Structure 1
Amino acid sequence: MVAEDERVGTAMTIVEVEKHGIVAIGEGDHPATYQAADWLCSSRPAIAAPAVPLRLHVEVLRRFGGLAPRALLGGQFVPGQDHETRFSVAVAPFGVFDADEAPTCPSVLWKQPFTVGLPGEFASAVADALGDGPGLPTGTLTIDRAGFDLVNSSEMIFGQTAAALKTAVAALLSGQDVDAAVRSLVSSW
């Protein structure tokens, strides 16, 4: 399903797998930008494939009875030259989330907005998840947009959201059907 989300000004593709989860995928920028206090960086061998620059964001919502784990991540892939795929994850400053007036951004899949930023424990889960799954061409995938829920976010949901983002990036770069690739991933949760 493709829907226009007026709150973030972009067309969103919604992938829903009953009893597993819902993923909203959008190309382009997202207002969940935050300042990085630190960066978690890693790399792995790249796959041999052509690459183009792109920016994506994904929002994931899972449902378990009364619980609704959810997370938002966005990033930019920039092609490179050195036979490696690099991953850079921006970690938000510690303590910024205690403020009553913390910045928020809209949610496509839930009625409440996200708090903008990526706390350290969630950033570690994102960095770990980026090292798994499909390979990417030579270049750098930088995670620089994020939103979390003070109650319904966890390391697990951020790891799954990172996997969904990386799967969507890999599918776009290889010319595969993004919906089918993300649906296959979500079905395995």
Structure 2
Amino acid sequence: MIIAEGGHRVAVRTDEASAAYVGSYVTHCERSASPEPGRAVRAVVELNRAFGGMTMRALLGAEFSPGPEGSVTVFEVPFGEPLGDGAVTECRSELGRPLAAGMPSDFAQAALGGLAGDEGATAFPAGLLRVVRAGYDEVGSSELAFKLAGDLLRCVVDALLHDQDPLATVRTVVHAW
């Protein structure tokens, strides 16, 4: 489903097979878990945000797998080599021209920061929230685009874990941009 407001567009879906990738490296962090039980959920977000004269683009998808209650939530972002020229753009996009599948090392920390939130962010149930889908644009992607995509994905996963409407959540986030 696509949500558009002003120069901002967001697509939300449950899977995007063409954006699957294998990262050679992983960046991660842990946060204290909430005491509530978790369940497996999956979501993919794609953003296309007009910002000044540029358009920011990012696609990010993750799976949450519940773990032992009372422990921590682990956030993981697999990534590859730094951004380079000539990436193959075969990843379907709901919001524009095709993207390159993968997570360059340039954007991994920003995506993790958005996904994990800060120490004061709402806690997730114990388990693992791992990025399994990503797509980028050599010109339009940036650390800020992946930070925003991580923030948005975190909100969508949280809504799914609490049986809330993820589209209402996305509309609220996009409206705040």
| Shared fold (TM-score, shorter chain, > 0.5) | yes
1:66 Cα deviation from its structure 2 partner: 3.8
Match of 2:4 among 4, 16, 41: 16
CA contact (8 A) 1:75 1:145 kept: yes
Unaligned runs of 5+ in 2: none
Aligned to 2:136: 148
Task: Decide which moves more: 164-173 or 40-49.
Answer: 40-49
Q: Deviation of residue 121 (structure 1)? A: 1.8
User: In structure 2, what is the equivalent of residue 75 of structure 1?
Assistant: 62
Q: Mark the CA change 1:150 to 1:52 in structure 2 (over 3 Å): closer, same or farther.
A: same
| 1:131 matches 2:116 | yes
1:107 maps to which of 85, 93, 102: 93
Match of residue 75, structure 2, among 84, 87, 110: 87
Alignment root-mean-square deviation, CA:
1.8
Contact 1:78 / 1:139 at 8 angstroms: preserved in 2?
A: yes
Whether the 8 Å contact between 2:87 and 2:100 is mirrored in structure 1 is no
2: CA distance between counterparts of 1:131 and 1:152?
23
Shift of 1:188: 2.2
The answer to whether the Cα contact below 8 Å between 1:102 and 1:115 also exists between their aligned partners in 2 is: yes
Deviates more, 1:42-51 or 1:69-78: 42-51
Farther-moved stretch of structure 1 (132-141 vs 152-161): 132-141
1:118 alignment counterpart: 103
Are residues 1:180 and 2:168 paired? Answer: yes
Q: Percent identity?
A: 35
Q: Distance in 2 between matches of 1:145 and 1:116?
A: 8
Q: Which residue of 1 aligns with 2:25?
A: 38
Residues 16, 48 of structure 1: alpha-carbon distance in 2 compared, 3 angstrom cutoff: farther
Deviation at 1:101, TM superposition (A): 5.9
Amino acid across the alignment from 2:116: G
What one-letter code is carried by the residue in structure 2 that aligns with 1:161? Answer: A
Instruction: Describe the superposition over 1:35-86 as per-residue Cα deviations: whole angstroms up to 9, x where unpaired.
Output: 2110001110112323211221110110135421110011111011152111
Partner amino acid for 1:25?
Answer: V
Is residue 2:27 matched to residue 1:54? no
In the alignment, which residue of structure 1 is the partner of 2:157?
Answer: 169
How has the CA–CA distance of structure 1 residues 183 and 101 changed in structure 2, closer, same or farther, with 3 Å as cutoff?
A: closer
Decide whether aligned partners of structure 1 residues 93 and 169 sit closer, same or farther in structure 2, where only a CA change above 3 A counts.
same
